[in-house]
Each structure stands twice: as structure tokens, then as C-alpha cells.
Chain A
């Protein structure tokens, strides 16, 4: 029996249709209502506030660093009217300096949680949003070009070309002068390359990232090992000053058990997986390399790029297996778990070792300035200061709120010496006063298991490294340029391409990216950046 023979009366059809429609409406309505209701009840933005009393009396703390820079922190300044500022910052750890529910008088959470204090003292209510670092760029651009809700954003300076060069940030020079922010406290690379564009200052740092050389102090000091090294190479075992020395030492430590734990160890380890171009740049910059010259020729001089890549390929023989896959954590742990004798990586290794929770402890790890190359008779050592974070006031912020927003920036600037020393939040020192002896009490409070000598050794080396900082590429399209460079570096390291081919292909693709983005526009923006390079003293004369 088929359907066509069955007769449907009009009434039946309508009644069925009505039942169906009713069913859908109810189902849809129920589902929709549930969702909508839930949406309504939780639609209010989450504002985390804490009430805390702070002594109203002004407290002044003065530090003197080797360059006799004095810094004053005043707590108890005059509160201003109730203002709300919307902040966007990296999610997770990096959010702790603003909001930290586990604020503590000592240990990892020491010095965090500034937003409630800002509310108490300055009367400014900070509405904070945590943003996924991976898609941060597009989320910020979507907001900047769209709703414009964020007043302060914390982002990676690698987007400076897009954000500062694109005109999305408010110039801060006037406020800096008015509120006596002493920019001399910053090393050239942060002051001019993180925070400025085309001669004007637009940002204040939130995180300083740099590369440092770490080595097993105890192993380097071991008499037998020193003797073996001397016998083999005819010189003393010291932290390497050049990349050739670095290669030699790495070779020495690879393939035998020099710490007596029953497993063979390796010479060194570096970060390949996430920011591959960074380790290339430590070397390339130290050979006098530039991202672009004034005419937008990429990776000049090309020969230096090839040599840097060749050296990078050579050193991989002395790394533990799987080094290409290691995220930052595994790289740090290669040091703290005693797998390698050295590592060239982020500032985190010091505090991690200092926490005492790993087999290799704070005093066993020495920090040094990254190696370099001898170029034209001079030893050139540059530490790549990629990543990092800066804070800006967005142009979408209404005029009346801008000064308030700056007061927040200044507060974070002033209090940074409290929260930077914590290894927990991932923020690293960026100012000389963070690494001067005056900061020592805060380092000790934030890292109770770390010895004083260990801390001093670390912070001195940190200052040296960021004083020798070399910036990342801060042009629009930086993400695209570095993506291409990273991929070709990986191919060279895996032997799929010769370093020479890898570099020439990179250069070729970079030229087409520049063309795509508008060669004249890129040139103009790059020349604005060169101004900053020159102010920082990094641009070759």
C-alpha cells in the first residue's frame, strides 16, 4: 500500500501540521528559554574585587642602581572620582599581577593582585578580561576596529607595527612627563623598541623577555671535569663568550653521564618549537644582522644569516632527543632535571631552579650573558628580546578617561618591582631597578627557597642580558614574516634543506610578503622603527 492512495482530509492535515508546529515551538521555546535565561542571569561581566585596607600614609621606597637611578613609589596618593576602565590581558598566569585571588605575603603570589589596590587607593574600577594568547592578535584587532571596549590592552610588542604603527595607541609622552615616569630605568631595547614608535612613546612594559645563557655552575666548577676539559681543548672551562666556545662546550658534555645519575646527558637545549626564529636571531643579530635594511632588503647581510643558521644546525647534534618538540617547559626542565649542562632560553629558568622543587637547585644554576661573535674585531653579543608584553591606552578610550588609564599604567610601573620577581606569573624583569640591589628584598620574598647569592647572580646577569637586548620584528605582518622564517629554519635543522637554500627561500618569500602588504607602506613604517633602533644605539652606524 503506498502513500498516494491514502486520502488526507484537509482537517487532518491541518491538525497534524498544527501539532508539529506546536511541538517545534515548544521545543524551540524551551531550549531557547533555557539558554536565554541562563544567558541573562550570567550576562553581567565578572568583576573581581577585593576590599583591603592599605595604610593611607605615603610610603616612599628608594632604590639606587649602578646607574644611580632613583625611583619613588608612593602609596596613598589622592583618590580621584569613580571611573571604570576595561582591561584586556593574557589569560592565566599573566593575569596575576592584576587579579590574584591567592595573593600572599611571600612565595609565588607575593606582590600580585594590584587591581583591587588600585580601586581602593585611586578609586578606579578595573574591569578585566582574560584573553587567549594564541588568538590574541585577532581578538584585539576585532575589538579595536569594532566595538572598542578595551581601554588598556596588554599585548606582545611583536604587534607594535600593527597596533602602534596602525595608530591605535594614545601617545604617552605628556603623561610620562607629568607623572615623572623615569624612562632611563629601562634598557634601550625596551625603552625604544618595545615602547616607542617613530620617536614617540606609546607604551609601558609589562613583561621583559630576553634570552640568557644558563649553565651548571656546580658542574663547571667540578675539579675533575675542569681537568678533562682542559686536557681535551687546552683552555679552561668557562661560560662561553662566543658561539664557537658554546659549540665546543656542548660537544664536551654530550653523550656521557657527568652528573652520576646513571643516564647520559647532553650539552645544551634551546627553544625550537614555539619561537624558532628567536634562537636564530640571537646568533644573527650578534653577527651584525638586521631584519631589513633601509630599502627593505630582508635579512641583511644574507651571508651572516646563512652562517647563523649553519651554526644553529651544528649545535643540534648536542641536544637531547625530541628537542624539536619541546615546549618551553621541557626546555626549562632539561636544565632543572639535569639533562643538559647548558641552556639558552627565557628568564624563567632562574626562578624555577630557585624554587627548590626540582632536582637541580638555585645555586647549581649560573646565569650568564648570551654568547656572541667577533665581528670586525669587536665581540658582539645580543640577547633576543622577543615576546615580552607592553601596556597601551587604546585610542577608543574617551578623552576623559585617558588620564585615569595612565594612572593605572603608572601604578603598574611603580609596583612592578613587587610583582615581577615572582616566577609564577611569567613576567620577567624589564627595568634596571628590578635588578638592582634595592629589589633584592622583593626577590627574596617572592622566591623564599632561593639563596641570596643565587638571586644576586641571576639578577645581575638578567640586567646584562636585557642591556644587550635586540628586538623582535615589529612591522605589520611580523607574524607572517616570522612564520615563514621559522618553518624554513626547521627544515634546515632537520636536514631537508641546506641553510643556504633555507635562507634564500626565506628572503624570496619575505620580498613577496612585503610586496603584498604594500612595499612603500612597509618601508615608511620600517624607517620609523629605524629611528628607534638608532635611539637605542643598535642600528649600525
Chain B
């Protein structure tokens, strides 16, 4: 039908424009990563890197600590995501089912209101006293301040979307509450869990200020390496782009692996009736 194909056309158009909008800066970043230093500010700008050079990657990974950065960031972000998801997800479930938790819920959310600068000096003093400066665990703990509230609230809203009847039917059938939770609720909320986990990872992976203050040389997560590229008076654009590209690989891999769970009509487990 005419209207049908028109709306399809509009849809296609919007998708194309959007993809162009999203891809273009990524393309520019990618092309910068492959340009040798003399071409970073070339006039007129080179749209396609020529010659293609891997020196930025080499520099970023091996000379400027990119490799250690990836390793450190992975440890921090994975640990933090895991912790936040477990602890926060559980709380999200509790808050979702417990009717009187309004104030607690708001309190938890309010932890996220403070700008990171609030924490830098205090955390520095705190972790210094505990002799935990420049360790992974300090950063993992510090990141809980914003990730737990996020996990709690997001998981709570996903759990809210799952009718209580599901657990109740399961319990009638003889499950304990925990069993119902594990066997029925969790699988139904899988897309939510995936989305939350991905975002938790991203938030921790890309956090900058707190990591900068809590780490020195033993632990050097990726965002703290970026200042290194502001050498002397100039900024090593190409190297920053190369490292950023490499830095985005783990999070993107996670997204890619779990993308298939973000598709329509995904409901597992118990269905009422």
C-alpha cells in the first residue's frame, strides 16, 4: 500500500541519516588513528589517510602504556560491573517488590547526584589512610558510588515490568522465593540485565576524574593515559584516537555478544495460564 511504503521510506531515510551521523565522527577518529603525525593537521584535511601508518597504535600500546591501560581498565570495569550488578540487582528486586521502600530508593538514587569532584579529595584522603592508593580495589570501590545506584534503579524498573503473578505461580508450584527469583524472574528480565550490565561497564570504563586521583603508576586505567598524550604543548591526536579505538574494543565486544538478547519478543520461562 502506498502509505505503507512511504512510512517505510521515511523510516529508511531516518535510519540512514542517523547512521551517517553516528558513523562519521567514528570514521574521522579511525582515520586519525591511522595517520602519521604530520598528517593530523593536514591542510586541506585528508579524508582518507594516505599513507596509512600504524605508528599511533604502536606508540599508544607499547610506548605509552596502552597495553597496561587496557589490562587495568578491564580488571576494574569487570569487577565493578559484576559487584554492582549482583548487589544492585538484588536491591532493585527488593525495592520492586517491597512496597514501602520509597525513601530508601530515593536515598540510593541521590548518591548519584554529586559531581565526581565531591569525591576526589575525600577519596584521596580516605584511601591514602587505608594505604590503598594506586590499587585496583580502590577504584573498584570508588566506582560503586555511581554504579550501584544505577544498577538498583534500572533493574528495579525492569523488575517492575514483570508481573508478580509470575513468581506467585512459580511458588504455588512449589518453588521457594529464591527459586522463583532465579528460575522465573531473572530469565524474563534478561534484556534488562544485559542493558544494565553493558551500561555499568561503560560507566566504569570511561570514568575519568576519580581514577585520575586514585591511581599513579602501578595502576593506569585507560582514561588516565589520555593526559599523557598532551605532551609539551601539542596534543597527539592520532595516538589518542588510536588508543580510544583500542579502548573501545572490550566494551563493544560485550555489546556485540549480547546484542541478540535485545530483540523483540524475548520472554523465557513461566507464562501464566
Contacts and interface: CB of A to CB of B under 8 A. Distances in A.
Nearest to B171: A6
Contacts of B38: 357-358
Interface in A1-59: 1, 3, 6, 12, 15-16, 19-20, 23-24, 27-28, 30-32, 34-36, 38-40, 42-46
A300 B272 CA distance: 82
Contacts of A328: 232-235
A280 B168 CA distance: 74
A146 interface: yes
Given A28-B86, A32-B137, A46-B218, 17 more contacts: A31-B79, A31-B82, A43-B134, A43-B218, A44-B218, A92-B230, A92-B231, A92-B236, A129-B216, A129-B217, A130-B228, A134-B227, A135-B213, A329-B233, A329-B235, A387-B233, A426-B233
Nearest to A34: B79
A45 B217 contact: yes
Interface in B132-158: 132, 134-138, 140
Nearest to A147: B128
Q: Say whether chain B's binding surface is mostly helix, strand, loop, or mixed.
A: helix
Contact of A425 (B178, B228, B232): B232
Q: Give me the 9 closest cross-chain CB pairs, A-B, nearest first.
A: A426-B232, A93-B231, A132-B227, A39-B135, A92-B231, A328-B233, A329-B234, A27-B86, A92-B228
A337 interface: yes
A213 interface: no
A263 B44 CA distance: 9
A64 interface: no
Most chain A CB inside 10 Å of its own CB: which residue of B87, B134, B177: B177
Contact of A102 (B63, B124, B218): B63
Contacts of A512: none
Contact of A28 (B76, B87, B121): B87
Given A27-B82, A329-B235, A142 B136 contact: no
Contacts of A130: 217, 228
A88 to B, nearest CB: 9
A27 B37 CA distance: 46
Interface string B68-106: 000010011011101100110010000001000000000
Interface of B: 37-38, 40-44, 63-64, 72, 75-76, 78-80, 82-83, 86-87, 90, 97, 121, 124-125, 128, 132, 134-138, 140, 164, 168, 171-172, 176-178, 212-213, 216-219, 224, 227-237
Contact of A46 (B44, B177, B217, B230): B217
Given A19-B178, A38-B136, A348 B235 contact: no
A479 interface: no
A332 B137 contact: no
A139 interface: yes
A139 B121 CA distance: 10
Contacts of B132: 39
Contacts, number: 153
Nearest to B133: A147
A430 to B, nearest CB: 14
A338 B43 CA distance: 9
16 contacts: A20-B90, A28-B83, A32-B83, A34-B75, A35-B76, A39-B136, A94-B232, A101-B63, A102-B63, A129-B216, A132-B212, A132-B224, A339-B43, A348-B232, A425-B232, A426-B232
A133 B230 contact: yes
A374 B87 CA distance: 72
Interface in A283-341: 327-330, 332-333, 337-339
Contacts of B140: 31-32, 35
A77 interface: no
Contacts of A31: 79-80, 82-83, 86, 140
A24 B94 CA distance: 14
Given A6-B171, A129-B217, A134-B227, A38 B75 contact: yes
Interface in A364-386: none
B129 to A, nearest CB: 10
Contacts of B235: 327-329
A17 to B, nearest CB: 9
A357 B235 CA distance: 17
Contact of B83 (A27, A36, A346, A357): A27
Nearest to B44: A263
B137 A94 contact: no
Contacts of B72: 42
A35 B43 contact: no
